[in-house]
């Protein structure tokens, strides 16, 4: 069960990333994003420097970072277009994208009964994460938003990007890449794309770097450390999954993209936020993950 504990730790650490994201909502999101990935990259670089013996390029790790950066790029663009609350629920659907990529590349065999449990688990886990993601505004307010092509386009790009981040992290973990090399090449790519996002959307943000208050530097630094730790344990979790299992990797994918679950509790205990949709969503996610795990025990 080591893979599960690593996955849970990863989800909690990524939940802290989301918490610090909330706490620094008072400042420019583009510059915050750069500082987050700069912290994560510098931390990865130090670990890489002290624990890695050879500087070997990892294609899978770099691609994971690129796709994470692309997803984050379009999240920031959605923020500019006031579409963030619409596209955010589909970030969690990245685990479903991961499942289908693995299904068509590895071709695992499922019995008819197993397919029912897997489909039910995937649907419930996504539904639960969807409810959690709309909790800040509530279902009634969310349903009042007008949908357009931009919403569909951004949602698909973000969903597929984070699905590919998860897939290439999984592929890196299953090769000879070690966790320090993975984090170094991943955050190098993500930091590069965070710079590109500023240059494309908000070049004036660079002028604000040296005028931030203490919290303006502290929260991004803590978020960067959280995302570094989260990705570290996502990798370790994928490394620990059984080669005979068809489902463990899918549960890890949901934990890797399901930071909203621990964020519900962190927001409740630290920020005092209460949301019926949030806690209901947590319960549904847990039922979905239980069904996914149980599917391996049925014929």
- pLDDT tens by residue, 234-281: 999 999 998 878 889 999 999 998 888 888 888 888 878 787 888 998
Q: Using the predicted structure, report yes or no on whether residue 22 has a pLDDT greater than 60.
A: yes
Confidence of residue 202 (pLDDT cuts 50, 70, 90): confident
Where do the H-state alpha helices sit in the chain?
Answer: 2-23, 29-51, 59-80, 84-87, 94-106, 112-134, 139-143, 149-174, 179-201, 214-240, 248-257, 260-266, 276-294
pLDDT at 174: 87
Q: Are 17 and 259 in contact (CB under 8 A)?
A: yes
pLDDT tops 70 at residue 82: no
Q: Is the pLDDT of residue 177 over 60?
A: yes
Task: Give the lowest-confidence range in 120-124, 131-135, 168-172.
Answer: 131-135
Measured distance CA(105)–CA(110) in Å, rounded: 15
- Averaged pLDDT of the chain: 85
The closest alpha carbon to 132, from 287, 297, 288, 285, belongs to 285
Judged against a pLDDT cut of 80, whether residue 53 lies above it is answered with no
- Comparison of pLDDT for 286 and 244, the residue scoring more: 286
Domain ranges of the chain: 29-213+275-297
CB-based contact 221:245 (threshold 8 Å): no
Indicate the pLDDT class of residue 150, thresholds 50, 70 and 90: low
Q: How confident is the model at residue 28 (pLDDT cuts 50, 70, 90)?
A: confident
Beta carbons within 10 angstroms of residue 121's beta carbon: 24
> Under 8 Å CB-to-CB from 55, ≥6 apart: which residues?
none
Tokens, residue 103:
């299904």
CA–CA separation, 143 and 199 (whole Å) = 34
Between the alpha carbon of residue 165 and those of residues 131, 143, 172, 293, the distances in Å are 23, 29, 11, 23
Q: What is the pLDDT of residue 264?
A: 85
Rg of the Cα atoms in the chain: 19
pLDDT in tens, 63-76: 999 999 888 877 77
Task: Say how far apart CA 129 and CA 90 lie, in whole Å.
Answer: 9
Of the listed ranges 93-102, 120-129, 269-278, the one predicted with least confidence: 269-278
Q: What is the pTM of this model?
A: 0.90
What the block records as the tokens of 93 is 């659907």
Q: Check: CB of residue 65 under 8 Å from CB of residue 185.
A: yes
Report the residue count for the chain.
299
Burial label for 286, CB within 10 Å (0-12, 13-18, 19+), is middle
């Amino acid at each position: 069960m080591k893979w599960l504990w690593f996955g849970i730790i990863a989800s909690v650490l990524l939940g802290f990333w989301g918490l610090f994201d909330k706490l620094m909502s008072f400042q420019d999101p583009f510059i915050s994003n750069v500082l987050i990935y700069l912290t994560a990259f510098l931390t990865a670089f130090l670990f890489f420097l002290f624990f890695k013996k050879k500087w070997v390029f990892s294609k899978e790790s770099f691609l994971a970072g690129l796709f994470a950066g692309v997803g984050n790029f379009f999240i920031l663009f959605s923020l500019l277009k006031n579409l963030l609350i619409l596209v955010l629920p589909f970030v969690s659907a990245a685990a479903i994208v991961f499942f289908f990529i693995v299904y068509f590349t590895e071709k695992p065999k499922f019995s008819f009964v197993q397919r029912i449990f897997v489909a039910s688990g995937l649907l419930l886990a996504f539904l639960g994460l969807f409810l959690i993601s709309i909790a800040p505004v509530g279902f009634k307010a969310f349903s009042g938003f007008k949908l357009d092509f931009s919403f569909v386009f951004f949602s698909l790009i973000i969903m597929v990007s984070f699905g590919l981040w998860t897939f290439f992290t999984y592929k890196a973990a299953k090769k000879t890449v070690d966790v320090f090399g993975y984090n170094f090449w991943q955050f190098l790519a993500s930091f590069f794309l965070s710079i590109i996002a500023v240059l494309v959307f908000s070049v004036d943000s660079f002028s604000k770097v040296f005028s931030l208050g203490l919290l303006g530097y502290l929260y991004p630094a803590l978020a960067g450390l959280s995302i570094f730790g989260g990705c570290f344990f996502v990798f370790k979790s994928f490394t620990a999954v059984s080669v005979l299992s068809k489902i463990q990797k899918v549960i890890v994918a949901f934990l890797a993209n399901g930071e909203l679950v621990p964020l519900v509790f962190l927001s409740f205990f630290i920020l005092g936020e209460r949301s019926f949709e949030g806690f209901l969503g947590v319960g549904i996610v847990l039922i979905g993950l239980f069904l996914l795990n149980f599917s391996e025990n049925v014929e």
